[in-house]
A and B are shown apart, each in its own frame.
Chain A
Amino acid sequence: MPKESSYLTEQYMDRLDDLTAAMESGDNQQINQLVSELTTLRETSLYQDLGMLTREIHDTINSFASDDRIAELAQEDIPDAKERLKFIVTKTDEAAHRTMTGAEETVAMIDAFNDRAEVMRNRWRQFRNRELSKQEFVELNQDLDHFLEEIGDESQAIHGKMTEIMLAQDYQDITGQMIRQVVNMVQEIEEKLVILVTLSGGAVCKVEEPEIRAAETAEGPQLPSASKDKVAQSQGDVDDLLASLGF
């Protein structure tokens, strides 16, 4: 381009020198001839610039079309992200239900427990007010024994429900990691879109090469639909694999 443009400048200069000379000598025919040549030169440089621009756009579109990552984004990552988002909805829904079920069951247990305690309290009050017969006192004694045993059992059961509620919160870790993966993908698409936008303005951005995935790289949770050959589907699969390695 610089070579061509300096050649053009030279051509302009020559014509302009000749034009000045022709005007000084009043050679109208020569003037017309030179003005005509200058117009042709102007058109030539315009076509050259246009040609350069077309070539640049063509090259950029070609490189954009041959960028495998874009095809990968469209064919794999975006459908994958949709699956991840659906999975997040399911996972959060499950966690909310697990938590609510745990809380509802615990409340029901505590309420029932409180009702039994109330009955016991009344009978105990009757005993202290000497309102119970001997037979009634024997029964109270037995029931009280039974009730105290129940306290232990119920506490264990409530503890279990609370642990279940706590474990249900693991959704935050799993879905959090998945959301990060989707955010990274959206960011990558944004970068590609920026190229498209700058393409219309003539400027071209450089896109970094995608990182190569290795087994050493943490990838976060896999979707349940992931290939069984590559991804362990359960703790049992993990244990089997480790056992095969001598664990």
Chain B
Amino acid sequence: MDKEMKILIVDDFSTMRRIIKNLLRDLGFNNTSEADDGQTALPMLKSGKFDFLVTDWNMPGMDGLTLLKTVRSDEELCDMPVLMVTAEAKRDQIVVAAEAGVNGYVVKPFTAATLKEKIDKIFQRLEA
């Protein structure tokens, strides 16, 4: 896993973006950017050459699921690994996210170890 990879963190709560950003830094990922919803994230993803997307689901403007679907249907972005970090814990919703092509799903509140484990798993699978 390339520690220099460019990661976009999308969450409408700035405290949560800071938490994820700090945890990622602890894991050795320093190249992160932030967006507060899907609408802001999408142009950044299209122009920014990001390697990994970490997104919340419930956000005003464009929500995380729509962002995920938009990424998957975009010719250039469709292969981007996406980790959803969200408070949405209904089983139906997790199934919907899986069907939409999410690579990992972390429910809030989460621990640093869980975040690390999911990221490791996503990239192990991609690199296998």
Query: Which range contains the number of A residues in contact with the other chain?
Result: 20 to 34
Contact B15 A215, beta carbon cutoff 8 Å = no
Query: Which range contains the number of B residues in contact with the other chain?
Result: 35 or more
Residues of B within 8 A of A233 (CB): 89
Contact B92 A215, beta carbon cutoff 8 Å = yes
- Contact of A174 with B109 at beta-carbon distance under 8 Å, contacts A167-B19, A219-B90 already known: yes
Which B residues between 59 and 80 are near A, CB-CB below 8 angstroms? 59, 63-65
Contact B58 A218, beta carbon cutoff 8 Å = yes
Decide yes or no whether B23 CB sits under 8 A from chain A.
Answer: yes
Residues of A within 8 A of B57 (CB): 218
Q: Please pick, from A163, A174, A229, A242, the residue contacting B26 in the complex, using a CB distance under 8 A.
A: A163
Residues of A within 8 A of B86 (CB): 218
Q: How many A-B residue pairs have CB under 8 A?
A: 102
Decide yes or no whether A238 CB sits under 8 A from chain B.
Answer: yes
| B27 CB, min distance to chain A CBs, angstroms | 11
User: When each residue 88-105 of chain B gets 1 if its CB lies under 8 Å from chain A and 0 otherwise, what string results?
Assistant: 111111111010000001
Which B residues between 82 and 126 are near A, CB-CB below 8 angstroms? 86-96, 98, 105-112, 114
Q: Please pick, from A166, A220, A247, the residue contacting B88 in the complex, using a CB distance under 8 A.
A: A220
Contact B88 A242, beta carbon cutoff 8 Å = no
Contact A215 B95, beta carbon cutoff 8 Å = yes
Residues of A within 8 A of B87 (CB): 173-174, 177, 220-222
Contact B106 A235, beta carbon cutoff 8 Å = yes
Q: Please pick, from B59, B64, B105, B111, the residue contacting A167 in the complex, using a CB distance under 8 A.
A: B111
Contact B16 A173, beta carbon cutoff 8 Å = yes
Decide yes or no whether A216 CB sits under 8 A from chain B.
Answer: yes
- Contact of A218 with B108 at beta-carbon distance under 8 Å, contacts A163-B23, A169-B15, A235-B114 already known: no
Decide yes or no whether A172 CB sits under 8 A from chain B.
Answer: yes
Decide yes or no whether B22 CB sits under 8 A from chain A.
Answer: yes
Contact B107 A173, beta carbon cutoff 8 Å = no
Residues of A within 8 A of B15 (CB): 169-170, 172-173
Decide yes or no whether B34 CB sits under 8 A from chain A.
Answer: no
Contact B107 A216, beta carbon cutoff 8 Å = no
The complex places the Cα of A95 from the Cα of B30 at a distance, in Å, of 27
Contact B19 A166, beta carbon cutoff 8 Å = yes
The complex places the Cα of A245 from the Cα of B97 at a distance, in Å, of 11
Contact B95 A167, beta carbon cutoff 8 Å = no
Contact B19 A215, beta carbon cutoff 8 Å = no
Decide yes or no whether A194 CB sits under 8 A from chain B.
Answer: no
Contact B98 A231, beta carbon cutoff 8 Å = no
Decide yes or no whether B11 CB sits under 8 A from chain A.
Answer: yes
For the A-B complex with A169-B19, A235-B114 known, give 8 more contacts whose Cβ atoms are closer than 8 Å: A166-B19, A171-B109, A172-B15, A177-B87, A220-B87, A220-B88, A221-B89, A232-B90
Interface residues of A (CB under 8 A from B): 159, 163, 166-167, 169-174, 176-177, 215-216, 218-222, 226, 229-235, 237-238, 241-242, 245, 247
Sample of 19 A–B contacts (CB below 8 Å): A169-B19, A170-B109, A170-B110, A172-B16, A177-B58, A216-B96, A218-B86, A219-B58, A219-B90, A219-B93, A220-B88, A226-B89, A232-B89, A235-B107, A235-B114, A237-B89, A241-B94, A241-B95, A242-B98
